Amino acid sequence: MPSTSASSKTENQPALKRPAGLEPIFQPVTLVTGVGNAAAKALARLAGPNLIDLVWHLPAGLVDRRYNPTVAAAEPGRIATMTLEIGEHLPSRRPGLPYRVRAYDETGGLHLVFFQSRAPWLQKLLPVGATRIIAGKIEAYNSQKQIVHPDLVLDPAEKHRLKPIQTVYPLTAGINGPQLERWIDEAVRQAPDLPEWIDKPLLKREAWPSWHDAIARIHAPTEEDDLSPLTPWRRRLAFDELLANQLALLLVRERQRRAAGRSTQGTGTLRAKALKLLPYQLTGAQRRTLAEIDADMAAPTRMSRLLQGDVGSGKTVVAFLAMLNAVEAGRQAALMAPTEILARQHLQTIAPLALKLGLEVAVLTGRDKGKARTRTLSGLAEGSIKLVVGTHALTQDPVEFRDLALTVVDEQHRFGVEDRMRLSNKGPKGSRGGSDVLVMTATPIPRTLTLTSYGDLDVSKLDEKPPGRKPVTTVALPGDRLDEVVAGVARAIADGARVYWVCPLIEESEVSDLAAARERAAELSAYFKGRVGLVHGRLRGPEKDTVRAAFARGDIDVLVATTVIEVGVNVPEATVMVIEHAERFGLAQLHQLRGRVGRGSGQSTCLLVYSPPLTETARQRLTVIKDSEDGFVIAEKDLELRGAGDLLGTKQSGRPDFRIADLEHHADLLEIARDDARRILSTDLELASARGKALRTLLYLFERDAAVRYLRSG
């Protein structure tokens, strides 16, 4: 990732140089004694390529090496450290049997047992007649004590390497525990003392150690409680990381506010006509959000706004009305969706309304070729096409706009941040600044994740559903009642309903999901002859469209889908959602899937089919989804049950991957960090004071200098 300053100065300001004091720990791990190229590659996979990555690689446990019995007194089941004389080697007599080495002290002997080990290596490690310090778990086998694959084998001259309490770290192939512990110790020793960036009253109130003392302490646990995220040293480092995150986000936000932009103010004529054409009144939340968007677009700075809307809250209509504002001002607007299915669904929603207003809505996806594509590209470049809906194909180099004023990005966590920035920066050459950006998500985001991941965006919430929407009846059933589910589906179809059936999530594999979906579709086809369709990720675009269109028309009654594709077809007649192995889904996924039904005037039902016995977490998930349809409540509970790790998708989302902070345990520190960052920048925007310079060091320490441009800055 290119290095980019976190400063709020103009885009042309040279990147700040990393403070000299940090250079020692930003050196490659190959500078550590014993780390060759192979080990460096393994360390890069495990933690990262530099010494600082080893500093942030936290202990997962500890081993007490203070039990030093004689062989006779050694208790099976305990981890022991003993000084033994090496006796005879007993190689295995046939494949599959272990290699054994006899070892003694004055009270008796035991076996050191090795599976699939090379004799020359063992003979060098354990030469007959030598004395070795052996550490490992004592076991009893056929009345003989043994240690299988000792944890440590040391020459007495290396006794200084033996720690009474050994720290245990997460490992990867090619690295053993003692090696990693030794390398991390070296990285911590290389860590410099740094100027203090935490406000002194806060430091005193929390009784936190200095940064250097905190990293030394976190890597030297002496008891299990020292591993807790609530220790003073862990909380101090977590606060450091959260403060760096919040400071970077607010600097980006300030830079966005100062970035060149253009005022876009429509006449309101097209919007007024569109509102009259809608078969319903806007909710209060929709009206409030539109007013916020209008104010942002009218300002001379670039808009960066996040629109959170629960399932069925009317985000697409708000986006379309905002796009009309750009068209009324004589400019263009684009809506980018992560998949072709969603892009075409948006097209189906807004194109009929746009047509009645005399506007053409073009579509541009990877599937659009030939003359149609050429015509669209020409229309966007000339400005004759004012509205376009598409996928990431909109970001490609051949696509140019005459005057792009508004970029709407749907389900933005499915895009790389670069995609969004490339589209928002498209426009005529020499243009003052990029387009306004409206980012939409149908996945309600907990407050803590909003602060850590979207702190640079203004946030609007659609927390009301359009009038007339009936709640969806949600029922959980064990898998052995699947026959009852099929019978219930048959009754619903007889009453004119259409049904989604999501196949079981067997594993994160498109192949296995597809096999399960095909099997279920075949079984249902035998019951509902000619009335079952199947969509999955391996179908070509036109094939998907054919099945979806058949379902929307009512030519088929049951749409079976894998979990690896969007099932977001807007079919008001679809009133039943069946989700197999519901216990394997996250709350957000279940909520999104359930949102496919309940879009019409009929009563809808969601059937959660699970396989008992349920884990406690799975039981809680199913209880929450049965008891609530409020996506924001569900998102908070999802964070509580799953942690922050996977709520927003992959790393490509731009979500910060915290090395130290754990939002489940450090949420209180996030609020403090947010307030502190605001206070700092209100008086020292350029971070020029003594504390400001220390905070610049903090930004580099957590590599926010490189990441800041790629945070959700629009």
pLDDT of residue 220: 93
CB atoms within 10 A of CB 163: 16
Domain covering 64-165, topology: OB fold (Dihydrolipoamide Acetyltransferase, E2P) (2.40.50)
Select from 86, 89, 109 the least CA-distant residue to 100.
89
What separation in angstroms does the CA of 181 have from each of 218, 339, 408?
Answer: 13, 45, 48
| Structure tokens that stand for 30 in this block | 């190959």
Please give the DSSP secondary-structure letter assigned to residue 50.
B
Residue limits of CATH 2.40.50.140 in the chain:
64-165
CA distance 267 to 326: 10
pLDDT of residue 633: 84
Which residues 6+ apart lie within 8 Å of 616 measured at CB?
A: none
Which residues 6+ apart lie within 8 Å of 312 measured at CB?
A: 465, 466, 469, 595, 598, 599
Which residues 6+ apart lie within 8 Å of 212 measured at CB?
A: 191, 192, 193, 194
**CATH classification code of 473-628:** 3.40.50.300
| Contact between residue 443 and residue 592 where contact means Cβ atoms under 8 Å apart | yes
What separation in angstroms does the CA of 79 have from each of 22, 63, 67, 135?
Answer: 39, 8, 7, 7
CA distance 255 to 271: 31
3-state secondary structure of 97: coil
3-state secondary structure of 340: helix
**Regions of the chain where pLDDT drops below 50:** 1-16, 429-430, 507-508, 567, 644-656, 706-714
| Contact between residue 567 and residue 551 where contact means Cβ atoms under 8 Å apart | no
Select from 526, 485, 493 the least CA-distant residue to 610.
485
Quickly tell me which residue has 């700040």 as its tokens.
16
Instruction: Write phi, then psi, for 276 (nearest 5 degrees).
Output: -70, -30
Q: Where are the beta strands (DSSP E) in 353-512?
A: 361-364, 387-390, 404-410, 436-441, 458-462, 473-478, 498-502
CA distance 313 to 285: 9
Select from 587, 253, 642 the least CA-distant residue to 443.
587
Please give the DSSP secondary-structure letter assigned to residue 438.
E
Which residues 6+ apart lie within 8 Å of 406 measured at CB?
A: 264, 297, 322, 323, 325, 326, 331, 332, 333, 334, 435, 436, 437, 438
Select from 60, 72, 84, 61 the least CA-distant residue to 135.
84
Quickly tell me which residue has 């977490």 as its tokens.
617
What separation in angstroms does the CA of 6 have from each of 58, 248, 507, 564, 655?
Answer: 27, 6, 40, 37, 17
| Contact between residue 22 and residue 55 where contact means Cβ atoms under 8 Å apart | no
**CATH classification code of 269-462:** 3.40.50.300
Q: Phi/psi class of residue 594: alpha, beta or left (left: φ > 0; alpha: ψ in -120 to 50)?
A: alpha
pLDDT of residue 66: 92
132: Cα separation from own chain's centroid:
47
364: Cα separation from own chain's centroid:
28
pLDDT of residue 431: 52
**DSSP H or E run through 95:** none
3-state secondary structure of 47: coil
Instruction: Write phi, then psi, for 263 (nearest 5 degrees).
Output: -80, 130
What separation in angstroms does the CA of 557 have from each of 23, 173, 315, 563?
Answer: 64, 50, 28, 19
What separation in angstroms does the CA of 657 have from each of 235, 470, 648, 652?
Answer: 17, 39, 11, 11
- Rounded to two decimals, what is the model's pTM? 0.70
CA distance 491 to 498: 11
Residue limits of CATH 3.40.50.300 in the chain:
269-462, 473-628
| Structure tokens that stand for 198 in this block | 């935490």
What separation in angstroms does the CA of 396 have from each of 158, 406, 418?
Answer: 60, 17, 12
Instruction: Write phi, then psi, for 482 (nearest 5 degrees).
Output: -60, -35
3-state secondary structure of 141: strand
DSSP notation for 295-319? HHHHSSBPPEEEEEE-TTS-HHHHH
- The HSE-up count of residue 185 (CA atoms within 13 Å, CB side) is 15
Bridge partner list, 461: 308
pLDDT of residue 456: 64
What separation in angstroms does the CA of 440 have from each of 281, 351, 462, 679?
Answer: 21, 19, 11, 29
3-state secondary structure of 194: coil
Q: State whether the Cα torsion 541-545-546-547 is positive or negative.
A: positive
167: Cα separation from own chain's centroid:
29
CA distance 701 to 53: 10
| Contact between residue 600 and residue 475 where contact means Cβ atoms under 8 Å apart | no
> Cα dihedral angle (45, 48, 53, 54), rounded to 10 degrees?
40
CA distance 174 to 37: 11
